[in-house]
Structure 1
Amino acid sequence: MNTEVKSAARVLDLLEYLAGCSEPVKLKEIVAALGFPKSSAHALAQTLVSRGYAIQDATERYVLVHASRHQSASRALEARLLSAAHPIMEQLRDETGETVMLAVLTVRGDCRRIAKCVSRQAVRYDIELDGLSDSYCSATGRVLLAHWDPALTDGYFARAHLVPRTPKTITDPGTIRGMFETIRAEGIAVSDEEHVTGSTGLAAPIWGREGKVIAALNLGVVTLRYHARANELAELLRNGARRISERLGHKSSPNPAILATVPRPPRALSDG
């Protein structure tokens, strides 16, 4: 006897379908893919939205929120963040031609990616959303650490294993800490082939209504393309992060310390 509850099975089918979609999908695409009646598909999708498991963007497309299980408060916060960020991420992807990602910091100081809009170019940067990434050698992590509580940042460096991910990875804690003031002043961090060979990351902070950095917007760029248009990409990224912050209720003000050029990554110090 089939003991599967039909409505529960449909919810799981919808979750699994959305988890496999690299782009937001319309209701008619859900109906076509899963064979649900339109009214049922709409009700199920709206239930996921109301519970914070998915968001519906301005064009009425659905996208899954990639959050940990049993963390409903965190999931609701991420749903609001994604709702504000996703249309800007898509626009930034189309403006730059590069992959755009959104990430937050865990309580231990690691980066957790929660959304991405992958470049449509044949040669592009891409990475799975599942799992954590090292903050010390990624642009995203450095932006978030630079705006984190200093005591928590001290704790992160005390327990993190700073190992070279590539020949260019900077592993000296003092050098990395020395970047933070510049990152805060210029509103951007750059990791040039320190995390993945052949890829350059740029990241800018996203500010919440309360005036604290709550996430980072990242561009993952093929290094050869990055060096040809570094300043342009940096300005587009800053603008995207500012617009997301404003959509979240942050009142931004001009920062005279922000420069028109990209900061040059410092040379690695010898560990010997």
Structure 2
Amino acid sequence: MNERDSSEVKSAVRVLELLELLSRAEEPMTLRAIVSELGYPKSSTFNLLATLISRAYVVRIEPESYKIHDAFRNGPGWASGRDAQLIATAQPIMDALRDQEGETVFLGTRRRDGRVRILSKSVSRQAVRFDSDLCGTDPAYCTAMGRVLLASWASHRVDAYLARERLVKITDYTVIDRVQLRKIFDETRRNGFGVSDREAVPGGSGVAAPVRDSSGEVIAALNIATVAPRFDSCKDRLAQAAIRNAAELSYRLGFKGSITSGK
């Protein structure tokens, strides 16, 4: 054993080798396949996977397959702490919501500058669907998640964001008037959900609802996104589904208060 090998921590090496294996795999891997590939005991491999799932680095696909989380394969990077707990708690809800409604589900948070950072997604299985990369940031003024997050922010911070953000008419439907945008944020707060209909992406529409932590603070937004031709017929249903599932996620994060929606 050389000097480098003697300084390695066995458990850390196993975690890294497990992550490296899953990052190379094009499809989810079964526990049996992982054990066979790495040569680890089944029990310890299962425990390592459970830990990585709890930290949101790995996602379990029923009945017993595993894959590295898309956020770490495609960006924006590694997560820990609050974001990791949020992703790990949200993913099963997002996957179930995707299967229930047949549309893509996103989870996003607000950056300090007010823009939206997408943490996780569960992509629709329909042939024609909405999707977006887990990298970069999105403007808040014209997106459903952004409007939810701005609606819960202190007014002086919203004013600062609108003064700082370059309000661009991305599509013919994008609202850029600051007075009208403030009215939209107020409506979002009253209704308990936000809407963006072909404003942020041509042909893309969606709804989002707020996610709260144990203190009641809005820390994220749960978004259901679809293609515009399907949106008109399912908008109300998607809005209620977003509210209901965001409330369930909030409950699992420790929020025990009541959430009322306007419509």
Q: TM-score, length-normalised on structure 2?
A: 0.82
Q: Which residues of 2 match residues 58-73 of structure 1 at below 5 A? A: 63-64=68-69
Partner of 1:128: 133
Does the 8 A contact of 1:23 with 1:117 survive in 2?
Answer: no
The 1:83/1:26 distance shift into structure 2, 3 A limit, reads farther
Q: Distance in 2 between matches of 1:22 and 1:229?
A: 33
Does the 8 A contact of 2:53 with 2:60 survive in 1?
Answer: no
Asked whether 1:141 is paired with 2:141, we answer: no
Q: Which moved more, 1:3-12 or 1:232-241?
A: 3-12
- The structure 2 residue matched to 1:96, chosen from 101, 108, 112, is 101
Unmatched segments (≥5 aa) in structure 1: 260-272
Q: Report Cα offsets for 1:98-129 as digits up to 9, x if no partner.
A: 00010001111111111100000000011111
Q: Report Cα offsets for 1:29-51 as digits up to 9, x if no partner.
A: 5446xx2124364465456457x
AA at the equivalent of 2:248: R
The 1:164/1:4 distance shift into structure 2, 3 A limit, reads farther
Q: Report Cα offsets for 1:208-244 as digits up to 9, x if no partner.
A: 1001000000011111111112111111111111110
Partner of 1:181: 186
Indicate the structure with greater helix content: 2
Partner of 1:54: 57
Partner of 1:230: 235
The 1:49/1:121 distance shift into structure 2, 3 A limit, reads closer
Does the 8 A contact of 1:206 with 1:216 survive in 2?
Answer: yes
Q: Which residues of 2 match residues 1-272 of structure 1 at below 5 A? A: 11-12=15-16, 14-16=18-20, 18=22, 27-28=31-32, 30-31=34-35, 35-39=37-41, 41-42=45-46, 44-45=48-49, 48=52, 52=55, 54=57, 63-64=68-69, 75-253=80-258, 255=260, 258-259=262-263
- Percent identity over the alignment is 39
SS of 1:135's partner is coil
Instruction: Please state how far the C-alpha of 1:55 moved relative to its aligned partner.
Output: 5.5
Does the 8 A contact of 2:56 with 2:85 survive in 1?
Answer: no
Does the 8 A contact of 1:26 with 1:62 survive in 2?
Answer: no
Give the superposed CA RMSD. Answer: 3.2
Q: Which moved more, 1:114-123 or 1:18-27?
A: 18-27
AA at the equivalent of 1:37: G
Q: Distance in 2 between matches of 1:20 and 1:172?
A: 46
Instruction: Please state how far the C-alpha of 1:247 moved relative to its aligned partner.
Output: 0.7
The 1:19/1:126 distance shift into structure 2, 3 A limit, reads farther
SS of 2:173's partner is coil
Instruction: Please state how far the C-alpha of 1:19 moved relative to its aligned partner.
Output: 5.2
The 1:36/1:83 distance shift into structure 2, 3 A limit, reads same
Q: Distance in 2 between matches of 1:25 and 1:241?
A: 30
Q: Distance in 1 between matches of 2:150 and 2:24?
A: 31
Q: TM-score, length-normalised on structure 1?
A: 0.79
Q: Which moved more, 1:88-97 or 1:53-62?
A: 53-62
AA at the equivalent of 1:141: G
SS of 2:127's partner is coil
The number of residues matched between the two structures is 251
Q: Distance in 1 between matches of 2:25 and 2:204?
A: 24
AA at the equivalent of 1:75: S
Instruction: Please state how far the C-alpha of 1:4 moved relative to its aligned partner.
Output: 8.7
